[in-house]
Amino acid sequence: MLNRRNRLILLKTISLISIVRGYNILVIVLAQYLAAIYILSPNLPLREVILDSNLFVIVLSSALVIAGGYIINSFYDSEKDLINKPQKSMLDRLVRQRTKIYAYFVLNFIGVLLASYVSFKAALFFASYVFGIWLYSHRLKKIAFLGNFVSATLAIAPFFAVFVYYRNFELVIFVHALFLFLLILSREMVKDMENIAGDLAQNYRTLPVRYGNRFTKWCISALILLALIPAFLLIRYFDVGYMYLYFIACSLLLLLFLFLLWRSSTKEHYVWLHNIIKFIIVSGVFGILLIDVDLVLNRIL
């Protein structure tokens, strides 16, 4: 049995992992490496990609800065989360606000410092990324649509750091990025409907607060229909291997999402819609392996 002190340390560790959303960061790290291996450098030996110190530093810097972003976001949203996520908020509050700020600066400093190992441009990119996350958390997230747009942009920015590193600017990558961007933007708007109670209490001027859920649903519907366009292009005009099966399944799931969206009216419904989009995004990470199944098998075997 754990004594009281060890139990408190364990709870604080779990709280910190909850704040930085370690599971999200693991998915992002995995996505960056899979993209590097199977999309951006399919002709390079697996060992060479995995042992690339510059790629490792870019991925590690991304993880540290994103973790810092979650911390500053939790810092500014602490009062709102008490309303929207009371159980999670109570767990997060085991870590003091002062400790959060200290961890925020340390993680960002180390992230930018490590990026300088790759190049000055990489350090400048991550320093700008840190500033962008702070500006979003402090002010922009309270503004209707602009906050959603900036959040979605920040979410895909770490992947562009890897694309730039490999100097791979093929059109298929941007079409795929557009699909992902539209999904993330839709998810952000669903989250606003899910968290409307806390946003109202803290005077956040989100889309549901300013214009109502019905208008927000029209915006989400438009984004989902727009997302079907890059999905169709990737199926029809680009060589994505067996990943076309993923995009077909996603298109069908997004149509189901639209049906459920207009029948939703409670927070529980919006949580389900949020999870549907999250499932599509996370499954897309593993869907990268379908681009070249033979390459995957050869590298595994």
Half-sphere exposure of 241 (CA within 13 A, CB side): 14
Cα separations (Å) of 209 from 41, 217, 264? 45, 13, 17
Q: What is the pLDDT of residues 158-170, one digit of tens each?
A: 888 888 888 877 8
Q: What is the pLDDT of residues 9-22, one digit of tens each?
A: 666 677 777 777 77
**CATH assignment, 9-169:** 1.10.357
Proportion of the chain above pLDDT 70, given as a percent = 90
Q: Is the pLDDT of residue 227 over 60?
A: yes
Q: What is the pLDDT of residues 97-115, one digit of tens each?
A: 788 889 899 999 999 999 9
Q: Is the pLDDT of residue 234 over 90?
A: yes
Judge: domain 171-301, CATH 1.10.10. no
Q: What is the pLDDT of residues 261-295, one digit of tens each?
A: 999 999 999 999 999 999 999 999 999 888 877 66
Phi, psi of 291 (to 5 degrees): -60, -45
Proportion of the chain above pLDDT 90, given as a percent = 53
Q: What is the pLDDT of residues 30-79, one digit of tens each?
A: 999 988 888 887 777 778 888 899 999 999 999 999 999 998 888 887 77
Residue 115 tokens, joined: 């990026």
Q: Which long-range contacts (CB under 8 A, 24 or more apart) does 250-259 make?
A: 250/280, 250/283, 250/284, 253/279, 253/280, 254/224, 254/227, 254/228, 254/280, 257/224, 258/221, 258/224, 258/225
Q: Is the pLDDT of residue 5 over 80?
A: no
- pLDDT for 173 equals 87
**Where are the chain's structural domains?**
9-169, 171-301
